[in-house]
Amino acid sequence: MHRIKRAAAKILLHSSKQIFEAAGASGVPRTSRCRVLKSLATVHKPSIQPTITNAHKQKRLHWAEKYMKTNFQTVLFTDECRATLDGPDGWSSGWLVDGHPVPTRLRRQQGGGGVMFWAGIMGTERVGPFRVPEGVKMTSAKYVEFMTDHFLL
């Protein structure tokens, strides 16, 4: 029990099988593993939080003060969206020893198969959406090429 509790405390949000293997107790049936872990831990999903520091907040505030009186009707706001085939990334969960805080897990950006879309808004006009070609990694050079091909006709 001591080795299992120590393994669960070391490897946060892992499955019961991974915890028991790390404790050197492989081959235990799932129902038994879960019964033992219920006395030591509970199942949690990771909390998803952006990694924003105080420096980021100060830079955002400075930007907002600088551009407060800008006419944004002439600015093109763009965004990309990726529709993945393997489902949402927030379905993961795992065991956590009671009393331990739930750790943060960053979201996966490029994984599995999927389709990427691009769209923009300028004033009250919508631009797009356009499908980004398969296998294109949006570097600054590719972004300029994409904008030239689809927007600056």
pTM: 0.40
Q: Is 90 exposed, middle or buried (0-12, 13-18, 19+ CB in 10 A)?
A: exposed
Mean pLDDT of 51-60: 90
Q: Other CB atoms closer than 10 Å to residue 129's CB: what's the count? A: 13
Q: How confident is the model at residue 58 (pLDDT cuts 50, 70, 90)?
A: very high
User: Which pLDDT score, from 0 to 100, does residue 112 have?
Assistant: 56
Q: How confident is the model at residue 146 (pLDDT cuts 50, 70, 90)?
A: confident
Mean pLDDT of 99-108: 66
User: Domain ranges in the chain?
Assistant: 1-46+92-107, 60-88+113-150
Structure token pair of residue 40: 């030591």
pLDDT over 90 at 52, yes or no: no
116 neighbors 134 (Cβ within 8 angstroms): no
Q: How confident is the model at residue 119 (pLDDT cuts 50, 70, 90)?
A: confident
Mean pLDDT of 45-57: 80
128 neighbors 150 (Cβ within 8 angstroms): yes
pLDDT over 80 at 95, yes or no: no
